[in-house]
Structure 1
Amino acid sequence: VKQHFASIDEETAAIVKEPGNVLHYYARALDFYLVQDFDNALKDLDEAIRCDSTFFPAYFSRALIYYKQLEYRKRDRKFEVETVEEQNLQVRSYDYNKVREDLDRVIELAPDFVYAYYNRGNILAVMKDYRAALVDYNKAIELDPRFADAYYNRGLTNIFLGNNRQGIQDLSKAGELGIFSAYNIIKRFTTIEEK
């Protein structure tokens, strides 16, 4: 942690010397992220994007950090006192759209960046747009045929949609590629008939 705080100080000094250098903002944002100062990380990523609107790693990192914040809000919601207004705690699809917009921009700037498709597929699945999620998982697998997590999530999505045969094939491939927990899911769904 001390190393990250020292790096934050170094990058801050570098930003003072070169305020238009996107890499200094990006590096400091990553350090802020690693010490879990998400607000400052997001501010630096916004500034990096302002400096260079074609720097796709800033969009990708901003999407990941914002997603992590949303997940924390969802998790913490269970522990909140019930007197707080429900609408203030609710994680809405609008919030996920912000993550999706950043991932859309990454794909526009770097169309071969496999993790953008994979993560957008995950966001689409959270938003319950399962068919669009399948399209992104397909693209991730097309770009990297050994992407075990993409097979795994595509398999789960197919099973959720009732395409058990395709889902089991994907889970089997995920298991072959090292996600051994996929085999437990296969056992559960091999007895369920295809819809």
Structure 2
Amino acid sequence: MPILKNGEGQAPAWCEMEYYELVTLEPDTKRDFSRRSPREKIIVVDGHCEISFGGAVLTGEYGTNVDLKSSDDFFSVATRDVSTTIVWMCGDWESETSSGIFTDSQGDPRDTKGDPVDYPKNTSFDRHYHDCDEYWVIIEGSGVVVSEGKHYEVEPGDCLATGMGFHHDIAISNEPEFKGVWFETGLEGRKRKGHLWEHTHGPAVPQLDRV
């Protein structure tokens, strides 16, 4: 599907992640966020901060992954001596399989254990599919990603939403390092976790209404 951008009205109806922001706060600043959705999460992708929600204060650093409680009406993020970048995701997903930060780099595409490709590629990222929907929010680098057989140019702040069963890949990285956040919603079908390859796990069964 076309790449999502920050802002409302971007996600199609099938997406359980309905809104997201890549937010950078300068040193010694604070931002209050009003809750938008029944389910929300924050992942810290750079710097460190204090995250306040539900009467609690949590120290956030690279990789901190916070699920906000449905009863919280707002949360805040405060920085001290360094700038901090977070990914804020909102929606109504029933469950989560996994989420975190991934890093890829330029490399020999022959070093991948993923499914074969028929397009130009300069990374060793593995072409794969899932038994769930997956979202990538790009936080560093630019390049070309592939999903549903289509090629999309991406840069920081873009989000690739891939429906269950569709192959996806990082084909081209324009910089030595390419970094993003991944978020997988609940398992469906055969409910197998992780990267799936046709040569190992059998044919993919794409959900054709999720494009």
Normalized against structure 1, the TM-score is what? 0.24
Quick check: which has more Rg, 1 or 2? 1
Higher relative contact order (CA 8 A, sep 6+): 2
TM-score relative to the length of structure 2 = 0.23
Query: Which structure has more helix as a fraction of its residues?
Result: 1
